[in-house]
Amino acid sequence: MPILALLTLAVMVFALVDAITRRDDQVKHMPKFVWVFFIVLLPLIGSVLWFTLGREYEQRREPMTFGDPRRWQKTAEPAPAPRPHDARSTEQQIADLEREMHLADLEEQVRRRRAEGGGA
What pLDDT is stored for residue 74 in this prediction? 63
What pLDDT is stored for residue 112 in this prediction? 93
How many Å apart are CA 47 and CA 8, to the nearest integer? Answer: 9
pTM given for the model = 0.47
What pLDDT is stored for residue 16 in this prediction? 93
Over the chain (120 residues), what is each successive 10-residue block's mean pLDDT?
Answer: 87 91 85 90 90 79 67 64 80 92 95 79
What pLDDT is stored for residue 63 in this prediction? 67
CB-count exposure of residue 62 (10 Å: 0-12, 13-18, 19+): exposed
What pLDDT is stored for residue 22 in this prediction? 85
Local structure of residue 67 (DSSP, 8 states): T
